[in-house]
Structure 1
Amino acid sequence: MDNPLEIITTRDGSRTLYSRQYKQSFHSVHGALTEAHHVFLEGSGTEELLKSQQEVRVLEIGFGAGLNWLITAAAARQNRTRLTYTALDKQIPSAESLSQLGYGELVGAPGLATTIGEWRKSFSGDVPYGTYNLPLEHDCTLQLCIGEATEASFPDRSYDSIYFDAFDPGANPELWVPEFFGKLHRALRDGGCLATYSVAGHVRRSLTSSGFSVARRPGPPGKREVLAAWKPQAAGFRSDR
């Protein structure tokens, strides 16, 4: 059977995957690395949090090929900050595809990329649904949850930021609704931020109805605007951040 994923080179020179099934690329064709940094690492406020040298907890919806994870882990290592990263996806690309993307060398974290590749190589076909804790060096932990995101449960007020990087509402409509955003709102700490690439009106309304305060911000090349959604501080709550 033909590989359902095709490797393409984006305009900033970094690579991404194109899904023939969903007819979408994992990251922007205008620049995969640029988008990952601008929309998620910077846009969620995680980049600044990592400079505090306090533990940072990130939840990602849509792990894909791991680019968002790798740039975040590289930033954590640079700042000597502990990172706890939980990511959900229905499936992970093959070890061969991960290797061909070259993300480890791209972000200066070849060891972390190798760990993911070796773990993926241990499965001859699809990764069985379940939760996997990958052994990593330094002060980084990666928990991969493979399965249906709508069936996942999250502890309340546990994450400093959320990367919402699922395929668009046309491909994954069940994830872009108030019911699912409400679960994420409860999982986010007070004052935390959810970042995503979509600024569609129904997405903003769904986030707002779930309790988020939503703002559009300038996007990376090829995208006029992207979205940041904050969980307001609870009355009388004082953050130590």
Structure 2
Amino acid sequence: MKADVQLLITADGSHTAVNQVLNKTYHSIHGAYQESQRVYIELGLFSAFDAFPDGPIHVFEMGFGTGLNALLTAREAERQQRQIFYTTIDAYPMPPEATSQLNYDQFFGTSYLTALHESRWNEPVEVNPYFRLTKIESELQALQIDERFQLIYYDAFAPTAQPELWETEIFQQLADLLLPGGLLTTYCSRSYVQRNMRAAGFTVTKHSGPLHKRDILKAEKVR
């Protein structure tokens, strides 16, 4: 089933979308790009590059949505010439009539958007020579996968919309997906979310967030 969405231009000029059923945006209205860049690229991907300097990086993303996090990662993979295998999950993908209107390729000067959104689900596709994408259409709770990852982008909708995705059991599931020393980053820094992460075996640190967001989280799987 496709998500019912409406596109919006955020304060930095990049698109976000509003899920009409949940009445929640996929990215910050204060700037979709600046939020994703800070939370997932700077705090997540760059940290994974440092922590795992040799070989490819395996990234798991919860919440494919607009594809912005994947696009920024593909761009960085090509810039850094680091091989990235990117697996992303979404139970309710955005419809093609919405994804075709996203302005990311124009905004960033890239040519990734068609490959990201029009590639088949459950089949790997090479978006550029350094970035391979596999999309899975499923709820996170039903995910069954053998691959293990160095990095998780946790970009579920806010706890007010999907509280079940911020419970200890979910973070235990995510910890099981990570290699020792693997990282998870997310925009949500609520105290009970931190407690649930720690209960699942993560060490958790707060970091400065993007514009209009004081704190964001980086969690590391205890070795």
Whether TM exceeds 0.5 here: the answer is yes
Residue 149 of structure 1 and its aligned partner are, at CA, apart by: 1.0
Tell me the secondary structure at the aligned position of residue 7 of structure 1.
strand
Bigger radius of gyration: 1
Indicate whether 1:204 and 2:194 are aligned.
yes
Letter in 1 for 2:139: E
Aligned match for 1:131, one of 116, 122, 125: 122
Tell me the secondary structure at the aligned position of residue 21 of structure 1.
coil
* Residue in 1 that maps onto 2:162: 172
Residue 165 of structure 1 and its aligned partner are, at CA, apart by: 0.1
8 Å CA contact 1:104–1:114 kept in 2: the answer is no
In structure 2, distance between residues paired with 1:77 and 1:53:
16
Give the structure-2-normalised TM-score.
0.91
Percent pairwise identity: 32
Indicate whether 1:15 and 2:5 are aligned.
no
* Residue in 2 that maps onto 1:56: 57
1:151-210 CA distances to partner (integer Å, 9 max, x unpaired)? 102437x21110000001122222111111101111111112100111111111110000
In structure 2, distance between residues paired with 1:101 and 1:90:
20
* Residue in 2 that maps onto 1:28: 28
Residue 96 of structure 1 and its aligned partner are, at CA, apart by: 2.4
Residue 50 of structure 1 and its aligned partner are, at CA, apart by: 4.4
Higher relative contact order (CA 8 A, sep 6+): 2
Residue 221 of structure 1 and its aligned partner are, at CA, apart by: 0.5
* Residue in 1 that maps onto 2:46: 47
Letter in 2 for 1:57: H
Letter in 1 for 2:131: C
1:57-110 CA distances to partner (integer Å, 9 max, x unpaired)? 100001111000000010001111111000011122122211211212323321
Query: Unpaired runs of 5+ in structure 1?
Result: 121-129, 234-241
In structure 1, distance between residues paired with 2:47 and 2:139:
31
In structure 2, distance between residues paired with 1:139 and 1:104:
18
1:30-55 CA distances to partner (integer Å, 9 max, x unpaired)? 110000010111112x1254484631
Tell me the secondary structure at the aligned position of residue 194 of structure 2.
helix
In structure 2, distance between residues paired with 1:118 and 1:89:
14
Letter in 1 for 2:157: F
Give the structure-1-normalised TM-score.
0.85
Which shows bigger deviation, 65-74 or 53-62?
A: 53-62
Equivalent residue runs for 1:62-141 within 5 Å: 62-110=63-111, 112-119=112-119, 131-141=122-132
* Residue in 1 that maps onto 2:4: 4
In structure 1, distance between residues paired with 2:97 and 2:16:
13
Tell me the secondary structure at the aligned position of residue 119 of structure 2.
helix
In structure 2, distance between residues paired with 1:118 and 1:155:
25
Aligned match for 1:214, one of 177, 182, 204: 204
RMSD of Structure 2 on Structure 1 (CA): 1.9
Runs of 4+ in structure 1 deviating by more than 6 angstroms, as ranges, are none
Query: Unpaired runs of 5+ in structure 2?
Result: none
In structure 2, distance between residues paired with 1:84 and 1:108:
22
* Residue in 2 that maps onto 1:155: 146
Query: Kindly tell me: are residues 18 and 60 of structure 1, through their superposed partners in 2, closer, same or farther at Cα, counting changes over 3 Å?
Result: same
